[in-house]
């Protein structure tokens, strides 16, 4: 009979946070973590069947968090959390534990042994195990802080953070047509896990949720199966569920000046702890695809302002040709209609504002009328939502011909702090 | 401005079925298909960014339907349909249209132009477009007929099929512990779409649903992100969301005697039209993973009867060692417990009955308590459910120690006819 050898207790990477938790008497499932998070000595080698490139590892530590300008991976598991009634020290402990676990998982390593650290055998496994044989598959884990972490809904300053809330971390306004569901909105914390293997992304969110037990709990979450944006020039432009290429004009990592100007927050923006961070907007957008599918190709293309096959602007050229909004067709009408999506979303129509988009297609089963519950889980990163996402979306919500086929049902905004320095933790610039 | 050239009307592959539908005055979204399904002359080449192997194409036509002994692909979109109040001829038309579309999509070809066949431009596109740049990615589309296609819930014989209902197409009994949701149960027809690219699988179900408009509508559906079984010896055994390897002892395609004996229906079984077909059982099984994750490694392994890391039976050896159910440990207790999953599911405990499993992990967001709505979408193929799935599941439902962590919420059984001969259609042996 094969039985794992006993593993002696060893100091955990983030013992401090866990001891803080234990001190508060909030143990529960955390008991299995009593020895802290440790590198798995039993970790198995990556599967031989893994496809080439599946071993891609993006560093967790660095100036910026990974998962923003990182080449958009194919799959997403996004999660929003509510923080429990804990102290500031316990919040710090959670962020330390999350960072330590994220550093392990993004390296393709379990968050602990699949057996227990202290045990060997009579405690729950530290790692849930479903990714044991899988490589990192480009996993990135990106953490964000919602407005309610700084100022609770009831106005209290739970963690002494209200004075450090960035002015860019606004409450998103109600946009015309919004049909938001409260249970798909907001959250004190968020985690974006992206990977080329969905099981790796799911494993990350599951284990981070488990580590948070008693300190934060899942508020809402979303799986996305297909990326809808490229974030580097080397990536082929993918298609959304309208069947159109999406993200042709997205900010690309190689555009270093644009990234610096539009994506990364600066210490000069007012919240110095956010220097090197960004702001994440998520919108769950249901598409009424059955109605769209009954719309003529002509109308579909006019609404988008691009051709369906090539993705070229309606003013001519190929996919990456700049749209010519002045070009006129027969009768003097603009070739790219005034209410087309490409025109209304273009930087020239929005005071130069751009977004780094990182959204995903989703299908959540079907509704009782037999329609697929499908759409776009929109994610964008920007330096200042009040100057970028908010005015662009207000313009679209008021004027975009595409609105007839869209329903915004979920929403959230989070401040995404800078990356952690080696051995540090995300949020250290705010709470350290 | 780039505009597709007009495409003259051309005879469709399945014009007969569509004309039948038009004759019944049920047009709706079907109008865009008025010219029938035609190979896309505008089809784009497979994406250069596609991973090696993504171009895998499994033939649609053949003795058996693909998607059964085919090497299990990574992703699933499963859909169950209710047939509308249509005639037998219209049902035939639907199956013809579905087969024609499936033959195109499994070859990596859209179900029509992304523009309209007759148009060029003022009709809806025949193909929804989101897979335009994607290769086949191993897509298989497998059709099944539920008990209610033969005998309606109210006892009527809508399509004159009652006499041909196979005795193997039983009503599944209530199993102890079943907590089925009516809206996740049954269905007149089912489609299993498997692919290594989830967008390709979603595209298939979406387009088949669209083609069915007015004739059949989605009853329930499920996405699965990770395969939980191998169906060939070359595949690495994957893990389920309990973190254990799953499907080690699954029937493999190479076991031709076992496949012939346990998977394929024979004309000698009583329904000659099912010769070369099989029977599909689907069970949506929610796993209470948070509770499982609090269970000790020792208990997890005892419940499964295998080690977590290697997947070896608790009686010793390695993953593919045969379990020794007689082996005793200290005190004379069996090493593989009497209520362990591996023992109860083993053919020797079930009169030799085996299943070809083809299930997938799923996560459908989270519930209001912050628990991931996660589990296993179990699919098995067998020659005779009454002799295979039903007794095995009855045994498990009564005795399996794992039941504490499982909740069966969805269920269905379908007769999966043999494959269609080239240019034919699935169901021709029953309805042709």
Average pLDDT score over chain A: 88
pLDDT-based confidence at residue A112 (cuts at 50, 70, 90): confident
For residue A25, what pLDDT band results from cuts at 50, 70 and 90? very low
Chain A positions in Cβ-Cβ contact with residue B115 (cut-off 8 Å): 297, 308-309
Q: Which residue of A has its CA nearest to B122?
A: A296
Q: Chain B: give the shortest CA distance to residue A116, in Å.
A: 7
Q: Does B309 touch chain A (CB under 8 A)?
A: yes
pLDDT at B30 over 90: no
- The answer to whether A402 and A303 have CB atoms below 8 angstroms apart is yes
Chain A hits for B369, CB-CB cut-off 8 Å, are: 217
Q: What is the pLDDT of residues A159-203, one digit of tens each?
A: 999 999 999 999 999 999 999 999 999 999 999 999 999 999 999
* Pairing mode, strands B140-145 and B189-195: antiparallel
Contact in structure between B144 and B415 (CB atoms under 8 Å): yes
pLDDT tens, residue by residue, B104-147 = 999 999 998 765 444 557 888 999 999 999 999 999 999 999 99
Q: What is the pLDDT of residues A374-424, one digit of tens each?
A: 999 999 999 999 999 999 999 999 999 999 999 999 999 999 999 999 989
Q: Cite the beta strand spans of B22-139 per DSSP E.
A: 75-83
Which residues of chain A are within 8 Å of residue B124 when distances are taken between CB atoms?
Answer: 293-297
Taking only residues 32 to 91 of chain A, the set having a beta carbon closer than 8 angstroms to any beta carbon of chain B reads: 32, 42, 44, 47-49, 51-53, 75, 77, 79, 82
Mean pLDDT, chain B, rounded, equals: 88
The pLDDT > 90 percentage for chain A reads 82
**Banded model confidence at residue B54, pLDDT cuts 50, 70, 90:** confident
The residues in A 314-353 lying below 8 A from B, measured between CB atoms, are 314-317, 329, 335
pTM: 0.89
Rounded to 5 degrees, φ, ψ at A38 are: -135, 150
At which residue do the structure tokens 């405990």 appear? B349
Measured between its terminal Cα atoms, the distance across chain B in Å is 48
Q: CA–CA separation, A312 vs A295, rounded Å?
A: 20
Question: Partners of B80 in the beta sheet?
Answer: B190, B220
Confidence of residue A129 (pLDDT cuts 50, 70, 90): very high
pLDDT at B39 over 90: no
Q: Is the pLDDT of residue A51 over 80?
A: no
> Looking at residue B122, what is its pLDDT?
82
- State both tokens at B363: 């996560």
Q: Is the pLDDT of residue A146 over 60?
A: yes
- Over residues A213-223, the mean pLDDT reads 97
Chain B residues near residue A51 by CB distance under 8 angstroms: 51-53
pLDDT for res A115 = 55
> Poorest-confidence range of A212-221, B8-17, B175-184?
B8-17
H-helix or E-strand spanning residue A282: strand A278-287
pLDDT of residue B108: 96
Residue with token string 């690495």:
B236
Residue of B282, B292, B280 lying closest to B374 (CA atoms): B292
User: Tokens at residue B197, please?
Assistant: 């690219």
pLDDT of residue A326 exceeding 50, the answer is yes
- pLDDT at residue A23 tops 90: no
For the ranges A113-122, A204-213, A252-261, the lowest mean pLDDT is seen at: A113-122
CA-based nearest distance A7→chain B, Å: 13
Q: What integer pLDDT is reported at residue A122 of this predicted model?
A: 83
pLDDT digits (tens, 9 = 90+) for A53-107: 678 999 999 999 999 999 999 999 999 999 999 999 999 999 999 999 999 999 9
Percent of all residues in chain A with a pLDDT value above 70, rounded to a whole number: 86
Task: Please report the DSSP string for B175-190 in residue order.
Answer: PTT----GGGB--SEE
Q: Is-contact B325 B193, C-beta < 8 A?
A: no
Q: Does residue B335 sit in helix, strand or coil?
A: coil
In this prediction, residue A116 has a pLDDT band, given cuts at 50, 70 and 90, of very low
Is the model's pLDDT at A48 over the cut of 80? no
Contact B104, B200 (CB under 8 A): no
**Residue ranges with strand state E in B202-355:** 216-224, 226-227, 278-287
Residue A19: per-residue pLDDT = 27
Task: Provide the pLDDT confidence category of residue B330 given band limits of 50, 70 and 90.
Answer: confident
**CA A301, A303, A305, A308 torsion-angle sign:** negative
Map residue A260 onto helix, strand or coil. helix
**Adjacent-strand bridge partners of B8:** none
Q: Give the 3-state secondary structure of residue A16.
A: helix
Judged against a pLDDT cut of 80, whether residue B353 lies above it is answered with: yes
* pLDDT of amino acid A134: 95
Residue A307 confidence (pLDDT) above 80 = yes
Sign of CA dihedral B58, B61, B63, B66: positive
What percent of chain B is predicted at pLDDT more than 90? Answer: 82
- The interface pTM score, or ipTM, of the predicted complex is 0.89
Residue B322 has pLDDT above 50, yes or no: yes
pLDDT digit string (tens) for B90-103? 999 999 999 999 99
Q: Is the pLDDT of residue A46 over 80?
A: no
The residue ranges of DSSP E strands in A11-116, in sequence order, are 75-83
Q: Count other Cβ atoms within 10 Å, centred on residue B282.
A: 26
| Contact by Cβ (8 Å): B23, B89 | no
């Amino acid at each position: 009979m094969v039985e794992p050898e006993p593993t002696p207790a060893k100091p955990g990477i983030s013992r401090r946070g866990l001891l803080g938790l234990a001190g508060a008497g909030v143990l529960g499932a955390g008991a299995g973590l009593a020895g802290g998070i440790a590198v798995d000595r039993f970790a198995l080698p990556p599967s031989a069947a893994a496809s080439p490139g599946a071993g891609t590892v993006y560093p967790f530590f660095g100036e910026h968090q990974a998962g923003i300008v990182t080449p958009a991976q194919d799959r997403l598991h996004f999660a929003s959390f509510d923080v429990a009634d804990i102290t500031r020290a316990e919040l710090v402990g959670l962020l330390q534990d999350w960072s330590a676990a994220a550093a392990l998982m993004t390296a393709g390593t379990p968050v602990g042994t699949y057996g227990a650290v202290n045990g060997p055998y009579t405690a729950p496994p530290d790692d849930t195990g479903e990714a044991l044989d899988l490589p990192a598959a480009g996993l990135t884990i990106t953490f964000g802080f919602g407005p309610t972490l700084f100022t609770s809904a009831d106005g209290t300053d739970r963690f002494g953070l209200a004075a450090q809330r960035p002015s860019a971390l606004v409450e998103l306004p109600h946009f015309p047509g919004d049909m938001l569901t409260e249970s798909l909105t907001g959250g004190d914390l968020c985690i974006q896990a992206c990977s080329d293997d969905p099981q790796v992304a799911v494993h990350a969110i599951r284990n981070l949720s488990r580590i948070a037990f008693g300190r934060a709990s899942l508020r809402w979450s979303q799986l996305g199966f297909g990326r809808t944006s490229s974030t580097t020039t080397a990536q082929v432009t993918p298609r959304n569920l309208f069947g159109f290429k999406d993200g042709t004009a997205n900010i690309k990592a190689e555009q270093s000046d644009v990234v610096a100007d539009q994506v990364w927050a600066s210490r000069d923006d007012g919240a110095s702890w956010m220097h090197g961070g960004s702001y994440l907007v998520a919108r769950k957008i249901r598409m009424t695809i059955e109605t769209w599918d009954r719309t003529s190709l002509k109308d579909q293309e006019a609404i988008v302002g691009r051709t369906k096959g090539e993705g070229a602007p309606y003013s001519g050229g190929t996919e990456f040709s700049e749209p010519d909004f002045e070009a006129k067709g027969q009768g003097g009408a603009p070739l790219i209609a005034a209410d087309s999506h490409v025109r209304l979303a273009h930087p020239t129509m929005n005071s130069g504002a751009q977004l780094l988009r990182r959204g995903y297609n989703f299908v959540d089963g079907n509704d009782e009328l037999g329609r697929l519950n499908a759409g776009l889980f929109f994610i964008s990163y920007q330096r200042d939502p009040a100057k970028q996402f908010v005015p662009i979306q207000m313009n679209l919500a008021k004027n975009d011909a595409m609105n007839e086929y869209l329903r915004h049902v979920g929403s959230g905004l989070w401040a995404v702090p800078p990356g952690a320095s080696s051995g540090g933790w995300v949020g250290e610039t705010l709470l350290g």
